[in-house]
Structure 1
Amino acid sequence: MALPNAEVLFGDSPDAPKLSKAEVATRFDGLMQAVDNAPTRVLGPQDVASAFSAGHGIDFTGQPKSAYGALAKALEAPELVKGISAEALASVTDALEQLKGQQPDLVKDITTGSPISTGLVAFDLEAPAKMLTPRPTPLRNRIPRKKGIGTSHRFKRITGFTGTGTGGVGNIHPGIADTTQTNFAPSGASQSLYYARGPKISYAGDDQVVPYSQFSVSDEVTWSAQYAGQGFQDIRQLSRTSLLYSSMLLEERMLLMGRGTASAFLGAVAAPTGLTLTARSAAAGETALSGVSTNIYIKVTSDAGDFGQSVLTSAANVAPSGGQVVDVTVTLPAGATGLRVYVSTGASDPGDASRWYAGRSGYATFTLQGALPTSGTAASTVTADSTAYANGYDGILPICTGANSGYVNRLNAALSTSNPGSEWQAAFASLYQAVKADPDRTLLNGSDRKQLSDALKTSSSSNYRMTITQDEVSGVTLGDVVNTIVNEVTGKGVSVEVHPWMPQGNSVILSDTLPVPDSQVSEVWAAWNVQDLMGIDWPVTQFAYESSSYWYGTFLCYAPAWNGAITGIKLV
């Protein structure tokens, strides 16, 4: 329907003088301005609620007080009732009632849980993700890294000559007389000349060939992960950084406890022998076995640190009584950092698939106590030896506990409290006696270093005294730690250090340099790499970004006899 024009609105009144077109236009403009300036109002949920209030919306005077009331009253008007069929009127009334019934849902309040359970709220998400990932690599940071070539590193050693007392070369007496005659002719020569001279000295030496191996780890970032992470974190950058640190951490662990199978290396660790089980009453601080009403069946392996374990032993069994614990005791082979224990129960042996990993020990005894495991890693997963790898090398622990080490002592006991540090003093004396070694440092697990420090504090020996001083403000400082062991043979201070990945129960004694003039050994330990650590981004061949690390090298010790190890330290 079109609006009437300006002349109809303002120029056609019989009681008013005829208006000019200019006056009509002026009045029309005034009307439009008044309409524009009229107050406006936007209806909100509360206005709708008021319009559809309970009841028929009629006040006490009979006048409608809401939109609903006005519509309801209009439907009752006689002229409307007469002009519309009963069915149509009933339909309109019913629709109005349905609209009224929907009122609560239409006008429900908006809260932190409505109309969406999680709320119409922003998430206070802090970016980027926090990297709670320890990554210490003290050996890698300290050990020299040198450039190699070819497929192996080779060096020759003179391990002794007459007078050194090393290399298996015996000593001779140099005294001579005027009549002394010594023949230097090769053995089996037809003629020989004798001269007035002292006896000829002897030498010992060897040729060392250490092969290089390749190492690599990889990662992948899908396109969806990269693009979905925009605005929160650069996922590719996270992947590359994690790959770098992962490579360095894995190399650190190989430098400490890796084992190789090539001819230059020590190879796999044998399984333990002499497995015995002893049931006894639980001692103070121990928890008696629970949930055991039948036999306990045990198999064990030699622990080789982070990279694996030996094959399983045969099973042994015992039937403990109430209030008892079971001691699992073995003889550990050379190179083992401890033992791992697998346990099952039953009237008969249920087999390796139901024999569960119960824990490890850093010395030759493991005590079963409390509730035995009923799930986890099964013994059936130990299908082959994993202590050594074809693409690997010997690390510090294998070298210091191997056949060429200068000293190995398997304690199978706690550290001495009557004479703290005596285990290291015995090692220092033996190393000095053998090759005149003067070690620089010893590496321990954190728990073992704490035990050494506690042994000093609890010692009854009068050779040690601790003084606790009190200041004027805040009281006393508790705790003390052993940071140096004085070599009682040479007088040199040997640094005591915790290595973050050292298996509990093991300590190595290291020489960084040799106390031998003109030895041609600038450092005892060295990493030789044909190619040092590098990163590779692979060409994109699918909806993903792929990266790898790579390095090609080996690790060697020029003088194993100047190093040693103390193993089998009981945890207390």
Structure 2
Amino acid sequence: MNAQTVQETIELVKGAYTLNKTVTTANDLVAYDLQAPAKNLYPVVTPLRNKIPRVPGKGGVATNWRTVKAIIGSGYDSSPWIPEGQRSARMSYSTAPVAANYVTIGEEDAVTFEAEHAGEGFEDVRATMATRLLQKTMLKEENAILGGNGSLQLGTPGAPALSAAGTTGTLPAATYSVKAVALTLEGYINSSVAAGVATVKNITGADGQQYTLNGGSSNISAGATQAVTLGQILAATVANVVGAVAYAWFVGAAGSETLQAITTINSATFSAPLLTGKQPATAITADCSANPGLAFDGLITTAFNPANNAYVITLPTGDAGQGTPLTPSGKGSVEEIDMMFKAMWDLYELSPTVLYVNSQELQNLTKKVLTSNSAPLLRVNTDAQSEQPFRLAANGTISFYFNPFTADGGKMIPVLLHPKVPPGTIIGWCQELPLWYQNNQVSNVAEVHTRQDYYQLDYPITKRMWESGVYAEEVLAVYAPFAMGILTNIGNG
């Protein structure tokens, strides 16, 4: 290479390096400002799990107890009169044996070695995995305590009743077929119009073994048909199904119905063109409402079971798609809740100690109670000596509900939100039996009876990953199922 060639090469190199005379962020010669650790933006709300006592069991496949349901006086049950010098006849008892089978709940997760090493300096991924694994198990347990279903089969709903009326709809003129599927609380949580009604899920465990879970849906009803002209609104209602808190609606030409809506009342209306690409009615082939042998009955399922004598009221169907809203009493209360309180006192001489509601029903309760008839609605507290104008806080809501039907002159009952109580349902629960249930031997109205409480399994290394599971063997033992009340099928309004 001669001197001229060398010089030309040097000049070319200089030219290349002088193209970018300034280093900017566009050159990507920058640090990465990553905040550690990861921010967990998910709620872990488990009020029932946190409040219900956990009691260790004593082995076996079930926890068993006997209930003395009544003590029955001789002669006339309530008349104590005895002639002079004579003895009374002997009293008798009404008893019943009860058994609740233990089941297993749990969840698993894993972290690869590479993920662990890559997370160094960011977070301890094995530790955070364990925390999130425990939290998810707790969330699943909360759902089970509220709405687990091991015994109550929904069966097959009756065919819907249909009608068409109005002039404001945009539903194309046609003859439509409508079918309905009832949903338990688990079914309502597991289902959506986008994802479809939950039926059966085949699950492959981390050990490679398979099992199936039912999603909480009934079998599908027979179809009913209705001719609709342009402008009319199609309305459908179905007879209430015991144990259901929601209903899924399949609409379309006969034989081609698809999922169009899920409601928390037993009616629906359709005024616009049908959604396309949704789950077909042919996907529903069996009653998948319960998981016998795998699940225990939660509070809602226990209350819905007619044999348990809980106070359960399903509001009338009302206007299709609207249902029947709660009724204001005109004296600062709600008729249906007052009736529930009165009935629970008349039947069992007890009162709920808490009302669990959805955000929709909290709003509805507030609207029914805070009316012009429930004055005074506003109280202003201000310092007469202050030169500052008084200030008001906007909005108000119901935080307590007064129950006058108690032996001690009345009780203030907290009204609490629960994220998994569905719209259209209100739960009243007596968490502690009153003092006049003397010698009841029921220190807890309900217990999570644990054969083996939460335990974590760290599996032997067979792959280049850390595998872990959190499990518990338990059952919800509800000793006084009559101490619950449910209002359901409540319309929004």
TM-score range, shorter chain: 0.7 to 0.9
Shift, 1:218, TM fit:
0.7
Q: Alignment identity in percent?
A: 27
Structure 1: gaps of 5 or more residues: 1-70, 76-91, 180-195, 262-266
Q: Give the aligned partner of residue 326 of structure 1.
A: 234
Distance 1:249 1:376 in 2: 29
Structure 1 226/381 Cα, relative in aligned 2: closer, same or farther at 3 Å? farther
The CA RMSD over aligned residues, in Å, is 3.0
Q: Deviations over 1:125-155 (max 9, x none)?
A: 2222211110011001100100102211111
Correspondences of 1:88-487 after superposition (within 5 Å): 106-109=17-20, 112=24, 119-149=28-58, 150-162=60-72, 171=77, 173-177=79-83, 196-261=86-151, 267-281=152-166, 288-289=169-170, 292-307=172-187, 308-343=216-251, 345-346=252-253, 348-350=254-256, 355-356=258-259, 358-389=260-291, 390-403=293-306, 404-412=308-316, 413-419=324-330, 420-458=333-371, 460-461=372-373, 463-467=374-378, 469=380, 472-473=388-389, 475-487=391-403
SS of residue paired to 1:121: coil
Paired AA for residue 528 in structure 1: H
CA contact (8 A) 1:401 1:564 kept: no
Given the two structures, how large is their TM-score scaled by the length of structure 2? 0.81
Paired AA for residue 400 in structure 2: T
Q: Which has the larger strand fraction?
A: 2
Higher mean alpha-carbon deviation, 196-205 vs 498-507, is at: 196-205
Paired AA for residue 340 in structure 1: A
CA contact (8 A) 1:335 1:402 kept: yes
Q: Deviations over 1:392-417 (max 9, x none)?
A: 11111112222113311111411113
Shift, 1:567, TM fit:
0.8
Q: Deviations over 1:20-47 (max 9, x none)?
A: xxxxxxxxxxxxxxxxxxxxxxxxxxxx
CA contact (8 A) 2:45 2:419 kept: yes
Q: Deviations over 1:179-221 (max 9, x none)?
A: 9xxxxxxxxxxxxxxxx43343332110111111112211121
Distance 2:226 2:18 in 1: 74
Paired AA for residue 469 in structure 1: V
Mapped pair 1:556 → 2:477: yes
Paired AA for residue 151 in structure 1: V
Q: Give the aligned partner of residue 201 of structure 2.
A: none
Distance 1:384 1:222 in 2: 40
Shift, 1:293, TM fit:
4.7
Structure 1 231/473 Cα, relative in aligned 2: closer, same or farther at 3 Å? farther
Mapped pair 1:488 → 2:404: yes
Distance 1:496 1:559 in 2: 21
Shift, 1:373, TM fit:
2.2
Q: Give the aligned partner of residue 417 of structure 2.
A: 498
Distance 2:25 2:445 in 1: 68
Structure 1 391/272 Cα, relative in aligned 2: closer, same or farther at 3 Å? same
Q: Deviations over 1:405-452 (max 9, x none)?
A: 331111141111354322111011111111212221111111101110
SS of residue paired to 1:216: strand
Shift, 1:296, TM fit:
3.4
CA contact (8 A) 2:310 2:485 kept: yes
Structure 1 203/370 Cα, relative in aligned 2: closer, same or farther at 3 Å? same
Distance 2:73 2:340 in 1: 23
In the comparison of the two structures, how many residue pairs are matched? 441
Structure 1 133/383 Cα, relative in aligned 2: closer, same or farther at 3 Å? farther
CA contact (8 A) 1:513 1:523 kept: yes
Structure 1 484/278 Cα, relative in aligned 2: closer, same or farther at 3 Å? same
Shift, 1:172, TM fit:
6.1
CA contact (8 A) 1:399 1:405 kept: no
Shift, 1:562, TM fit:
2.3
Distance 1:234 1:378 in 2: 45
Extract structure 1 runs of 4+ deviating beyond 4 A. 98-106, 110-114, 176-179
Shift, 1:223, TM fit:
2.1
CA contact (8 A) 2:328 2:335 kept: no
CA contact (8 A) 2:334 2:365 kept: yes
Paired AA for residue 171 in structure 1: D
Shift, 1:256, TM fit:
0.3
Paired AA for residue 481 in structure 1: T
CA contact (8 A) 1:468 1:477 kept: no
Structure 2: gaps of 5 or more residues: 188-215, 317-323, 383-387
Q: Which has the larger helix fraction?
A: 1
Structure number with greater CO (CA < 8 Å, separation at least 6) is 2
